[in-house]
Amino acid sequence: MDREQALDTALGQIERAFGKGAVMKMNDAAAVSVGAVSSGSLSLDLALGIGGLPRGRIVEIFGPESSGKTTLVYHVIAEAQRRGGICAFIDAEHAMDPQYARNIGVNIDDLLVSQPDTGEQALEITELLIRSGALDVVAVDSVAALTPKAEIEGEMGDSHVGLQARLMSQALRKLAGTLNRTDTICIFTNQLREKIGVMFGCFPPETACRRHLRADRHDREPPNTCSSDVDGSCDGRDLAQANRQLLQERQDGQVASV
């Protein structure tokens, strides 16, 4: 049996086991075009390079307290709803303000809202909503508030090393493929944490569960770093940018002032 026959046999076995299209040649695959939902800010959409937040991907919006993370999420949800999309908001912080969301443009009557008791419950609900394939945007607010069940049921002062990190790591691995198939955007808001033991120097603060989100997310947006000079010019280095997987071509990252 020559090599071509052996390859055809292997491809036939793979298609029978996993379905047609499990393995393909690149010239047979359609050009990958990542859809997007507007962030509600023209300048941010331009900075991201694809016109908004990418569909079928994990997006992390992080920053210090009161920096506008949840407000940005509300704007994304409002834009998705204007297109006729269905959205869900997982309020792990139990701090959602319906009137504020309504003022931004969110249709509260059609928004799915969940206030889970534990981190496991929040992520299970998130996964089930995404697997349904009916939603356009699922937002989890926030990663820092996803408290493991063992920590909630334990005593004050108990040590629970790495529980939240393992929970997030497992959830992101499970969600990545499902998001791509359902074309749903999953947004996680995250908070900054100071590095323990760093007294001097310019070390930047970390986000909660940063390593796991950094490995699995495709778009990170720090709302506190979008800034313009007094003359209206905008330095591309200070703007959030989409992951290189989503952009076919980028130059110097500069964005024209709007």
> Residue 109: which CATH number?
3.40.50.300
Taken in order 211, 212, 213, 216, is the CA torsion positive or negative?
Answer: positive
For residue 223, tell me if it sits in a domain. no
Strand partners, 221: 61
54: domain range? 35-216
Looking at residue 61, what is its pLDDT?
Answer: 93
Looking at residue 72, what is its pLDDT?
Answer: 95
For residue 12, tell me if it sits in a domain. no
Q: Stretch 144-154: mean pLDDT, rounded? A: 88
Global pTM reads 0.75
For residue 229, tell me if it sits in a domain. no
For residue 150, tell me if it sits in a domain. yes
For residue 77, tell me if it sits in a domain. yes
Q: Stretch 209-217: mean pLDDT, rounded? A: 52
Q: Look at the chain and report how many structural domains it folds into.
A: 1
Looking at residue 217, what is its pLDDT?
Answer: 52
Q: Stretch 189-211: mean pLDDT, rounded? A: 65
Tokens of 91: 């309020």
Q: Which residue has the higher pLDDT, 78 or 240?
A: 78
For residue 241, tell me if it sits in a domain. no
Looking at residue 92, what is its pLDDT?
Answer: 94
Residues 6+ apart with CB under 8 A from 198: none
For residue 189, tell me if it sits in a domain. yes
Q: 138 with 126: CB under 8 angstroms?
A: yes
Is residue 150 pLDDT above 80, yes or no?
yes
For residue 167, tell me if it sits in a domain. yes
Q: Which residue has the higher pLDDT, 210 or 146?
A: 146
The count of other CB atoms within 10 Å of the CB of residue 110 is: 10
End-to-end CA distance of the chain: 64
